[in-house]
Structure 1
Amino acid sequence: MKYSTLLLAIIMVFVTSCKQVKKDTIAQAFIKTEIVLTKLWETDTLLKTCEGVRYDSKTATIYVSNIGGVPPDAKDGDGSISILNKDGGILNQNWATGMNAPKGISYYNGKLYVTDIDVIIKIDLKTGIIEKKFSVRDAVFLNDLDIDTNGDVYVTDSKGDKIYKLVNNEVNVWLDLVGESPNGILVEDNRILVVSSSQGDFISIDKKTKQRKVLATGIVRGDGIVPINEGYIVSTWPGEIYFVDENSSNIKAVKILDTKDEKLNTADIGIIPEENILLVPTFFGNKVVAYKIDYK
């Protein structure tokens, strides 16, 4: 009887293992695109603790958020936004000032929106002047930010485990994400994509039902998200960049870059879509690095 029980246990382990291997094999079969990143240029190391980048196609310029002194939640007043050209030249290192620790940035209708610890800042794109600061009640560590096509602003609070939404000059909690530590965020037509910095999950959230689905795993300390034709490129703060195929569903993301040995972080990434160029702020590296997105 003891031998029968042992044999049954061995068989069950074998069957379970086979199922897992089959599942992983099927999942990986969806990933048909191999992404290769080729370095193009890097800025001078003058961008102090650069966290986020966003490209403006209308002006062909790149906005960079600089936290300045650390810790990244210090209300020390030394945060700034810089402007680069498409070749990495620093056009204006201190285009906008008067912030503490700016992180996520995006623009809409002539305004640049920026997260800054517990406020959302609106800056005029023509002048660089801060027009308004929206206080976010109970916010702990506002991080990334993206804007819907109608102007609604979605913001992650990584330490508060929430997503906030700014609509008609009012900020309210859109969704609680207890235990997820949401960081990177990307707003699409019908869903919100978020990368969890604590769980390493890349998840989609339905805008109407708020139902969640895990698209990919293994992205520990996830930071930024950009869309490409084949899916998504997702960064992690310690220095890794991953590719998630558009057909992914609960599979392990594919690592395409690792700069940890160079002690270069890969924070809230951006993209120049028409040229397939990935923009990577390096945080403590104090520079932005650009990579051409190629395929094998």
Structure 2
Amino acid sequence: MKYSSLLLAIYMVVLISCKHNKKEAIAQVPTKTEVILTKLWETDTLLKTCEAVRYNKEKGVIYVSNIGGVPPSEKDGDGSMSIINIEGEIINQNWVTGMSAPKGTHFYNDKLYVTDIDAIIKIDIKSGSIEKRISVENAVFLNDLDIDTNGDVYFTDSRDSKVYKLANDEVSLWLDLEGVNPNGILVEKDRILVVSFSKGDFITIDKETKQHSVIATGIVGGDGIVSIKEGYLASTWPGELFFVDKSVSGAIATKLLDTKDEKLNAADIGIIPEKNILLIPTFFGNKVVAYKIGYK
């Protein structure tokens, strides 16, 4: 009788332990979010080779960089910046001219910064004029750009695999990512995210240590990045859009959109966060397309 009681006690302990461990295992499984895109509007096809978009909440407008003639590395002087509203109407098609191949763009303290092959163009937003051209020594193909909360500008050279930093109008090499060909870039508080054009890797870089790791794969031809509620959206120049779930590390990114058959690229995307609207510049499509971001 005592022996049976002992066996019963051991059995109960094991059973309780198994249930406890099972609950812990279930709790550790990440929840997969399903993102849904619904098309809202598109602009007229007057934005010649539109490459990047950036929403300015204070002014309620969207800046669009237009490369103009190709190739996008040609110093032909026919690049421009346009302004559209949040309904997709072109307000000023030739707001700023005199650039060659403007690409990534962002603003800080009424100044708009734009990459242009081997220089950063600094535009005065109030006057709509170029204030300064900042040369980047040894640059090959400057591409995407983002700005930290303190005004430091980070930008990629996608053909030379480098990330540069602009502070107080002075350029310095921030990180050499040999073989990565970083294109899209997103600056966060403690880290910087880039998407590789050649490898399709979605990479996080610690600001202090500069150690980097891959958090998602499968985004070949990576071009732009925006942050959303549950993770990130990343575009590919050929015409795809992917979702990277914050709760799942090292996974293949989830494809949400594919417009390759329509011959519509998906370049340096932007977002209207308070309205959950994604903005896609279509490069050779010569228009910006907006989608409502939803979750399921």
TM-score normalised by structure 2 residue count: 0.90
- Quote how far apart the aligned CAs of 1:157 are: 0.1
Moved beyond 4 Å, runs of 4+: none
Amino acid across the alignment from 1:193: L
Partners of 2:32 and 2:247 within 8 A in 1: no
User: For each residue in 1:262-296, what CA deviation from the matched residue of structure 2 results, as whole angstroms up to 9, or x when unmatched?
Assistant: 11000000000000000000000000000000112
1:60-99 alignment, distance < 5 Å: 60-99=60-99
User: For each residue in 1:26-71, what CA deviation from the matched residue of structure 2 results, as whole angstroms up to 9, or x when unmatched?
Assistant: 9xx6352100110000000000000000000001100000000000
C-alpha distance in 1 between matches for 2:166 and 2:38: 37
C-alpha distance in 2 between matches for 1:258 and 1:188: 28
SS at match of 2:263: coil
> Aligned pair in 2 of structure 1 residues 119, 32: CA closer, same or farther (>3 Å)?
same
Other-structure match for 2:23: none
Partners of 1:30 and 1:245 within 8 A in 2: no
Other-structure match for 2:107: 107
Other-structure match for 1:148: 148
Other-structure match for 2:17: none
C-alpha distance in 2 between matches for 1:106 and 1:225: 13
Other-structure match for 1:39: 39
C-alpha distance in 2 between matches for 1:165 and 1:193: 14
C-alpha distance in 2 between matches for 1:121 and 1:258: 32
Other-structure match for 2:166: 166
C-alpha distance in 2 between matches for 1:56 and 1:119: 23
C-alpha distance in 2 between matches for 1:190 and 1:133: 29
1:212-251 alignment, distance < 5 Å: 212-251=212-251
Other-structure match for 2:135: 135
C-alpha distance in 2 between matches for 1:276 and 1:97: 30
Alignment size in residue pairs = 269
> Aligned pair in 2 of structure 1 residues 31, 203: CA closer, same or farther (>3 Å)?
farther
Amino acid across the alignment from 1:192: I
C-alpha distance in 1 between matches for 2:233 and 2:127: 32
User: For each residue in 1:224-245, what CA deviation from the matched residue of structure 2 results, as whole angstroms up to 9, or x when unmatched?
Assistant: 0000111100000000000001
User: For each residue in 1:136-168, what CA deviation from the matched residue of structure 2 results, as whole angstroms up to 9, or x when unmatched?
Assistant: 000000000000000000010001110000012
Amino acid across the alignment from 1:184: G
The answer to whether structure 1 residue 281 and structure 2 residue 286 are counterparts is no
C-alpha distance in 2 between matches for 1:208 and 1:132: 30
Other-structure match for 1:7: none
Rg bigger for which structure?
A: 2
**What 5-or-longer segments of structure 1 have no aligned partner?**
1-25
> Which stretch shows the higher mean deviation, 241-250 or 118-127?
241-250
Amino acid across the alignment from 2:43: T
Identity level (%): 72
TM-score normalised by structure 1 residue count: 0.90
C-alpha distance in 2 between matches for 1:42 and 1:169: 35
**What 5-or-longer segments of structure 2 have no aligned partner?**
1-25
SS at match of 2:103: coil
The answer to whether structure 1 residue 53 and structure 2 residue 53 are counterparts is yes
Partners of 1:78 and 1:99 within 8 A in 2: yes
- Quote how far apart the aligned CAs of 1:127 are: 1.2
SS at match of 1:274: helix
C-alpha distance in 1 between matches for 2:202 and 2:164: 18
Amino acid across the alignment from 1:94: N
User: For each residue in 1:59-93, what CA deviation from the matched residue of structure 2 results, as whole angstroms up to 9, or x when unmatched?
Assistant: 11000000000000000000000000100000000
The root-mean-square deviation of aligned C-alpha atoms, in Å, is 1.0
Other-structure match for 1:201: 201
C-alpha distance in 1 between matches for 2:248 and 2:185: 17
C-alpha distance in 1 between matches for 2:190 and 2:166: 18
Other-structure match for 2:4: none
Amino acid across the alignment from 1:252: I
SS at match of 2:274: helix
User: For each residue in 1:97-116, what CA deviation from the matched residue of structure 2 results, as whole angstroms up to 9, or x when unmatched?
Assistant: 11000000000011000000
Other-structure match for 1:269: 269
